[in-house]
Structure 1
Amino acid sequence: MKKHKKHTNLERRANDNFAPNEIAILGTNCNNISELVHKVSERLSNYKLAYFDVSHAKNVAKNKLSEYVFHHEGNLQITTSGNVNKYQQRLDFAQFDYVFINGNHYQGAKQILILDEAKEASVLKRLDQLDRIQFIVKLKNETEFFDFLVEKYPNIKNKICYTIDEVDQIANHINNLIQEKIAPIKGLVLVGGKSTRMGQDKSELDYFGKPQKEVAKELLENNNLETFYSVRAFDCAQGDNKKSNVISSAVEKSQEIPDTFYNLGPFGGICSAFQKDPNSAWFVLATDVPFVNDKVIQSLLKHRNPSKVATAIKGKNKEFVEPLITIYEPKAYPILLQYLAQGYSCPRKMLINSDVEIVEIDDNFIRNVNTPEEFELAKKELNK
Structure 2
Amino acid sequence: MLVGLVLAGGKSSRMQQDKALLAFAGTSLLTWAEALLRQSGCEEVLVSRNQPGFLADIYPDAGPLGGIYSALMHQTIGSSLVVLPVDMPFASPELLQHLINAGQARASACYFADCYLPMYLPVTQAARDFLQHLLATQGQGRVKALLHHINAIALPCPADLAPQLRNLNTPAQWQQATGQSPQ
CA RMSD of aligned residues (A): 2.0
Query: Does the alignment pair 1:328 with 2:145?
Result: no
Q: Distance in 1 between matches of 2:115 and 2:8?
A: 20
Give 1:296 deviation, angstroms. Answer: 0.5
Q: 2:135 is matched with which residue?
A: 340
Q: 1:230 is matched with which residue?
A: 48
2:64 counterpart letter in structure 1? P
Q: Distance in 2 between matches of 1:338 and 1:355?
A: 17
Q: 1:275 is matched with which residue?
A: 73
Give 1:359 deviation, angstroms. Answer: 2.2
CA deviation string 1:40-63 (max 9, x = no partner): xxxxxxxxxxxxxxxxxxxxxxxx
Q: Distance in 2 between matches of 1:341 and 1:199?
A: 29
The answer as to whether partners of 1:339 and 1:350 remain within 8 angstroms in 2 is no
Q: Distance in 2 between matches of 1:374 and 1:307?
A: 35
Give 1:347 deviation, angstroms. Answer: 1.8
| Residues 1:187 and 1:273: Cα distance change in structure 2 (over 3 Å) | same
Q: 1:206 is matched with which residue?
A: 23
1:296 counterpart letter in structure 2? L
Q: Distance in 1 between matches of 2:167 and 2:37?
A: 19
Q: Distance in 2 between matches of 1:191 and 1:342?
A: 24
| Residues 1:214 and 1:291: Cα distance change in structure 2 (over 3 Å) | same
**Map 1:245-264 → 2, pairs under 5 A:** 253=53, 256-264=54-62
The structure whose RCO (Cα within 8 Å, separation 6+) is larger is: 2
The answer as to whether partners of 1:217 and 1:227 remain within 8 angstroms in 2 is yes
The answer as to whether partners of 2:49 and 2:55 remain within 8 angstroms in 1 is yes
1:346 counterpart letter in structure 2? R
Q: Give the number of the structure whose alpha-carbon radius of gyration is greater.
A: 1
Q: 2:101 aligns with which of 302, 313, 316?
A: 302
1:336 counterpart letter in structure 2? L
TM-score (norm 2): 0.84
Give 1:197 deviation, angstroms. Answer: 0.6
1:200 counterpart letter in structure 2? Q
**Map 1:9-24 → 2, pairs under 5 A:** none
Q: Distance in 2 between matches of 1:368 and 1:202?
A: 11
Q: 1:220 aligns with which of 24, 37, 53?
A: 37
Give 1:200 deviation, angstroms. Answer: 0.7
Q: 1:266 aligns with which of 42, 64, 83?
A: 64
1:295 counterpart letter in structure 2? E
Give 1:307 deviation, angstroms. Answer: 3.3
Tell me which protein shows more helix as a share of its residues.
Answer: 2
TM-score (norm 1): 0.42
Q: Distance in 2 between matches of 1:349 and 1:321?
A: 13
Query: Does the alignment pair 1:375 with 2:140?
Result: no
Query: Does the alignment pair 1:351 with 2:147?
Result: yes
Give 1:366 deviation, angstroms. Answer: 0.9
Q: Could you say what secondary structure the match of 1:273 adopts?
A: helix
1:326 counterpart letter in structure 2? M
Query: Does the alignment pair 1:366 with 2:165?
Result: yes
Q: Could you say what secondary structure the match of 2:81 adopts?
A: strand
Give 1:336 deviation, angstroms. Answer: 2.1
Query: Does the alignment pair 1:195 with 2:8?
Result: no
Q: Could you say what secondary structure the match of 2:23 adopts?
A: coil
Instruction: Give the number of equivalent residue pairs.
Output: 171
| Residues 1:371 and 1:297: Cα distance change in structure 2 (over 3 Å) | same
Q: Distance in 2 between matches of 1:221 and 1:373?
A: 29
The answer as to whether partners of 1:204 and 1:213 remain within 8 angstroms in 2 is yes
Q: Distance in 1 between matches of 2:12 and 2:142?
A: 17
2:135 counterpart letter in structure 1? L
The answer as to whether partners of 2:59 and 2:135 remain within 8 angstroms in 1 is no
| Residues 1:341 and 1:229: Cα distance change in structure 2 (over 3 Å) | closer
